[in-house]
Structure 1
């Protein structure tokens, strides 16, 4: 018998885009996912969302020890203007399962449930389905994005530490930024090591270094959004 957690042990998601599950125009703005009473997540729907104009979708992951709201904040300033639906789940532990316990599991399940909710209720542009994050969230986004590159068309990694996949599917485009003075996840063993490995796998990578530390300057976030929506 395969348990629910066992089914997700490789990091593979089961949810796929499909027809929206509701004929009514859903609520816009900031909402809870309603998937967990203790550690939930959030969804932000652009104020001018229109089901006749499918929106881009970005799952944005917080850094270690941060709340789900941090993930939402990464691209929130651009969501209305660029028609991007944002999903910001909370990690089940202090950080994402692969980092906290060396195995995929409960966080993959939660992200899968959040995606099922989004695909079931909103019209999504399937050429603009992204997963991204900051710090540990960026590392985990690379792991999940590379594993599910047949679902995610884009990966946005702000200051990642590593990239890992038990199996790789598809060829997602990748955006990576890293501060040259980053003292938390230093650029040489992190960003500068990851990028050549991804390119070796034949992936399109947009890589930007900036003068700064473990952070996301506004110009970098804007560049990522322009890259996603171009």
Structure 2
């Protein structure tokens, strides 16, 4: 992977910083509920989304942006937490990477940062949102960690299922982090990945909850529930 440009040589609004500019605000339009595609100006697929019915007491959603693994699909990203979305009032958005995996893995933040930022702006226009989480599996977990650490002033939590690395060109804030990894993972071996990554995050002062499990490159139902319980329990 090519080295990112030094932060002091990149304009503050350049997507190579990995900075997201969209911010939550009172909705300006009504938006649908249920499972739905999100498309671009020319009708191309950008993401899949799921919105539970509005809370009867008016409670805003926790928005969770879910990132698929290499070669995966937006629907695979959505399925990471779709089974628990209604019970925990989670508004899910699962972008489709512009290529087979996320831009950072291919050489640096860029087009996918712009895509996610645009999706966030659309969601904030249509839904009341109180917290923002980034999550993902495999390459998507590495991307969620990298983008989340670069945007801790927007993102309050990161879910990283079997990540390979974290490489934010800049960091802001201190989001709390959940990392899981299978001890028999043959795709991203645990000794080379999370067992190095998690201690490094701890050394930088991040609050990291780490779970190893007897399995491979996967997200099991019990693990999904454990991560959701962690996410929805106040720190």
State if a TM-score over 0.5 links the two structures. yes
How many equivalent pairs are there? Answer: 223
The one of 112, 120, 134 equivalent to 1:115 is 120
- Is residue 124 of structure 1 aligned with residue 129 of structure 2? yes
Structure 2 unmatched ranges of 5 or more: 1-10
Paired with 1:50 and 1:121, the residues of 2 have a C-alpha distance of 17
The equivalent residue for 1:34 is 39
Query: Does the aligned pair in 2 maintain the 1:148–1:169 contact within 8 Å?
Result: yes
- Is residue 93 of structure 1 aligned with residue 99 of structure 2? yes
The one of 139, 147, 151 equivalent to 1:148 is 151
1:202-228 C-alpha deviation (Å, 9 max, x unpaired): 110000000000001111110111111
Paired with 1:184 and 1:167, the residues of 2 have a C-alpha distance of 28
The equivalent residue for 1:220 is 223
Change in 2 beyond 3 A, CA 1:116/1:50: farther
1:32-60 C-alpha deviation (Å, 9 max, x unpaired): 11226334211110134558210111000
Taking structure 2 as the reference length, the TM-score comes to 0.91
The equivalent residue for 1:66 is 72
Change in 2 beyond 3 A, CA 1:194/1:82: same
Query: Does the aligned pair in 2 maintain the 1:51–1:123 contact within 8 Å?
Result: no
Calculate the aligned-residue CA RMSD, in Å.
1.8
Paired with 2:82 and 2:53, the residues of 1 have a C-alpha distance of 12
SS in 2 for 1:146: helix
- Is residue 78 of structure 1 aligned with residue 84 of structure 2? yes
The equivalent residue for 2:3 is none
Query: Does the aligned pair in 2 maintain the 1:39–1:91 contact within 8 Å?
Result: no
Taking structure 1 as the reference length, the TM-score comes to 0.92
- Is residue 10 of structure 1 aligned with residue 17 of structure 2? yes
Structure 1 unmatched ranges of 5 or more: none
